């Protein structure tokens, strides 16, 4: 029976040794995985820092752009207000011109008979003038 105890102790020792070897191999594998993970995380940390810096730069540029657009839109407000004043002036001019045109048309309508007479008398005067010049030219040619 002693030999059974020796074999049992040997089996327990072999099992313990196998378990110790397996545990060592597993821990080495876990250690390598953790080292790889640590290096990956360090690389990611650097990448995250770069992205954060670039994001800050983009935000600053965006803020400057927004401020520039705001300033330009404020300056354009003055232009649009001035254009509104020009529009009112042109509308006033158009209204005045329309009123003037209506006034002239009304006066022409009221005085169209007198105007027709003036035109007739002007035609008569011009015709008399041309006949007078003809007569004068004939007299000069006869005398000369």
> How is 31-99 classified by DSSP, letter by letter?
HHHHHHHHHHHHHHHHHHHHHHHHHHHHHHHHHHHHHHHHHHHHHHHHHHHHHHHHHHHHHHHHHHHHH
Residues 68, 78, single domain; the answer is yes
Residues 38, 72, single domain; the answer is yes
Residues 115, 97, single domain; the answer is no
Is residue 76 a contact partner of residue 68, using CB atoms and an 8 Å limit?
no
Domain that holds residue 51: 2-110
Total number of domains in the chain = 2
Residues 33, 66, single domain; the answer is yes
What band does 144 get if pLDDT is binned at 50, 70 and 90?
Answer: low
* pLDDT tens by residue, 17-42: 999 999 999 999 999 999 998 888 88
* pLDDT tens by residue, 77-100: 777 777 777 788 888 888 888 888
Where is 30: in which H helix or E strand? helix 2-110
Q: How many C-alpha atoms does 23 have within 13 Å on its Cβ side?
A: 6
Q: Taking the model in full, what pTM does it have? A: 0.41
Residues 67, 123, single domain; the answer is no
């Amino acid at each position: 029976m002693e030999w059974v105890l020796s074999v049992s102790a040997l089996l327990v020792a072999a099992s313990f040794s196998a378990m110790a070897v397996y545990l060592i191999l597993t821990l080495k594998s876990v250690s390598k995985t953790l080292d790889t993970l640590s290096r990956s995380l360090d690389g990611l940390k650097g990448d995250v820092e770069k992205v954060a810096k670039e994001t800050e730069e983009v935000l600053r540029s965006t803020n400057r752009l927004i401020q520039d657009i705001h300033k330009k839109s404020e300056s354009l407000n003055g232009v649009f207000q001035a254009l509104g004043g020009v529009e009112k002036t042109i509308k006033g001019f158009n209204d005045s011109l329309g009123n003037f045109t209506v006034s002239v048309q009304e006066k022409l309508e009221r005085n169209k008979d007198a105007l027709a007479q003036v035109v007739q008398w002007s035609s008569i005067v011009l015709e008399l003038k041309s006949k007078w010049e003809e007569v004068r030219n004939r007299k000069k040619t006869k005398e000369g």
